[in-house]
Amino acid sequence: MEKVEWKVDGMDCTNCALTITKYLQKEGMKEVKVNFIGGDVNFELNGNKSKEELSKGIADLGYTVKSEELATNNKKRTTFFTNHLQRFIFCLPFTLVLMLHMLPWHIHFLMNPWIQMAICLPVFIVGMSYFGVSAVKSLLRGIPNMNVLIAIGALAAFVYSLIGTIGNYGMDYVFYETTATIITLVFLGEWVEHKAVSTTQKELNKLAGNQKVMANMIAFDEEHKELIFPVENTQLHNGDLILIKSGEQVPTDCKILWGEAYVSEALLTGESKPIHKQKKDTLIGGSLFTDGTVKAQVTAVGKDTVLSNILNLVKQAQGEKPPIQQLADKISAIFVPVVLGIAALTFLLNYFAFDISGTQSLMRSIAVLVISCPCAMGLATPAAIAVGLGRATKKGILFRNAKSLELFKNITTVVFDKTGTLTKGQLTISKLECINVSEEEFKRLVFSMEKFSNHPIAKAITNEWKINNPINWKKIEEVKGIGIKAEDKDGNVFQLGRLDGGQQVAGHGTTHDPHAAYLTKNNTLLGWFDMDDEIREEAVEVIQYLHSKNIKTILLSGDSIERSNKLATAVGIDEVYAEKTPADKLAIIEKLNAASPVAMIGDGINDAPALAKATIGISIADASQLAMQTAQVVLTNNGIKYLPLALGLGKHTFSTIKGNLFWAFIYNIVAIPVAAMGFLHPGVAALAMGFSDVVLAINSIRLNYRKVI
């Protein structure tokens, strides 16, 4: 099945997202995910309907599909107003004029109901062309949205006033200003709400804005002379050559062929310190050159780039609904019919039971319709998640799903892998001993063998020892789990790696140390060298933070007991499991998980099974390794510096969601009875409804500035 990713304009709340979801599911689409805050609509096309037909169906619901692919095929509908601000500005003068007749001194001509109707009519037409059309379409689809409440409220006030005007019942039956006020203030509220909600997307929009930039493309003419000309990065292809200069943004993922530079990857990793890059190093699209000039070859474009992968991860997480949102969604789905019932009951009880006049009973009923706000309940979770994910992404923390944000609140144990997690994974030679051979010859032999291997020890050797006259071997092979075997032209057999069994070596003990390598010639020991792995600078601080939060720390490693205990002591870890295979790690995580929720942090390769089994799997990765599927959280800055921030953001995002939901439920629980008892004019109710969502958005935005660690 083809995966479709669209941007859809016009969604204001969960009901809008639900309308589109139900429509696509009804048409047979699978894996439908709709995020109304970002406007993202994702689904799998089943082949029964074309994209054009689905786009038209969504347009019939009152929403607009923004797709470059469909732009040429679909005629763009021209509308007089393009946003709620324009509608508000148009309606405001008419509404203000209508409100004048409510002043203590009466303006004579405004006391004429026919003149009031004429002034109200433009506002009513604009309001019903939006709220009315949207309401009818949602009712036809069987999924009534909040515009049904607004449309019925405004329509009831207008029709009641029209009957009073035609029947000449007097000014007590004329409420045109109520109709105009409802429509005008709801337009204002929705515009302010839209601006507030879009602010929650600030960091993500900033990231997305870096996807389209200009690039300096290198080409050659017939005489092989180099030509440089500007192109948009969307026009680049794999293999193209580009020039990047100081101060410019890297247009797409590429590999340096010539030159060197200092590059800031703060946009992607949260690390502001520029990184030195040279020949053969990779550059991530979206990073910024602070100094230097390079020529590079494009390695990935479009959806395959690191930046696109990051945005896709964030979109997936935004589309997920954590368990806490399920109750709100169920209530939102039935909210509009329930409110319609309450409004009807309000009129009947006031008129028949409490002997309130028909006019006042109707006004109270309209106030109930207008004050009710299903959007608040639908917005509570997405707004907080958008801010939380945005702040996390800015620091290079990627949440694969929204559920992880909620799970963080229960974590009582954090399990660490050793190599590459608490240590840098960059081995250095700490000890070297030669037996019956000079140090220079020993290094030459080792270098000549290691240059054929991709093992981390081999890379450390070739980086540290630069040998200009390596040996040309007659035969060389890498024996998995043992090391390298080589044969020279004289038939001598050399082996580099572990020795057999537990053979004792003078001054070094057993041969089971995985970071010690031994060189033999025809089974005679020539020497050995030992390797050390540097501890990450932030390791101690991170462990101390976890202990301050009463979180137990465990080291789970495949390395030797001696090395693991040494590291645990150095950084202050509580408990150690050493010399464990991937299967052992999985079993240990299962056991720990059974006792209490566990977060595991590792490099995402050997630890993949354990990461997948943990309550929350956290992976450290270079940005180019974002394809890892096992971890729910990825730290792209290749370190554990922001692990406390990830934990803190998870907990505080969840608490923000709880606060939002509390406000949304309390607002409706209090506001509806207040309106039903006649303490709210419909105009005031309209303003209160419009700004209820703004309160939630502002509370969510606070998450950007709150201290979370």
Catalytic sites, residue numbers: 417
Least Cα distance to 351 among 366, 364, 338 occurs for 364
Q: Determine the Cα–Cα distance for residues 533 and 353; give it in Å rounded to an integer.
A: 82
> How many other C-beta atoms can be found within 10 angstroms of the C-beta atom of residue 388?
27
Beta carbons within 8 Å of 115's beta carbon, 6+ residues apart: 109
The pairs formed by 541-544 with CB atoms below 8 angstroms and a separation of 24 or more are: 542/640, 542/641, 542/643, 542/644, 543/571, 543/572, 543/573, 544/572
User: In the β-sheet with 64-66, what is the strand arrangement from edge to edge?
Assistant: 30-35, 40-45, 2-9, 64-66
In this structure, are residues 295 and 280 in contact, taking their beta carbons and an 8 Å threshold?
no
In this structure, are residues 246 and 289 in contact, taking their beta carbons and an 8 Å threshold?
yes
SS (H, E, C) 462-514: HHHCCCCCCCCCCEEEEECCCEEEEECCCCCEEEEECCCCCCCECCCECCCCC
In this structure, are residues 653 and 386 in contact, taking their beta carbons and an 8 Å threshold?
no
Least Cα distance to 626 among 246, 309, 397 occurs for 309
Least Cα distance to 310 among 204, 233, 188 occurs for 204
Q: How far apart are the first and last CA of the chain?
A: 44
Least Cα distance to 363 among 685, 36, 37, 681 occurs for 681
In this structure, are residues 152 and 167 in contact, taking their beta carbons and an 8 Å threshold?
no
What burial class does residue 99 get, using C-beta atoms within 10 Å of its C-beta: 0-12 exposed, 13-18 middle, 19+ buried? Answer: middle
Token pair listed for 442 = 């020993």
Q: Determine the Cα–Cα distance for residues 8 and 22; give it in Å rounded to an integer.
A: 15
Taking only Cα atoms into account, the Rg of the chain, rounded to an integer number of angstroms, comes to 33
Query: How does 253-283 read in b/e, with b if 16+ C-beta sit within 10 Å?
Result: bbebeebebebbbbbbbbbeebeebeeebbb
Query: How does 182-199 read in b/e, with b if 16+ C-beta sit within 10 Å?
Result: bbbbbbbbbbbbbebbeb
> How many other C-beta atoms can be found within 10 angstroms of the C-beta atom of residue 508?
14
Q: Determine the Cα–Cα distance for residues 75 and 78; give it in Å rounded to an integer.
A: 9
In this structure, are residues 294 and 229 in contact, taking their beta carbons and an 8 Å threshold?
no
SS (H, E, C) 627-684: CCCCCCEEECCCCCCCHHHHHHHHHHHHHHHHHHHHHHHHHHHHHHHHHHCCCCCHHH
State residue 290 phi and psi, 5-degree precision.
-95, -25
HSE-CB for 686 with a 13 A CA cutoff? 25
In this structure, are residues 530 and 515 in contact, taking their beta carbons and an 8 Å threshold?
yes
Q: Determine the Cα–Cα distance for residues 317 and 310; give it in Å rounded to an integer.
A: 11
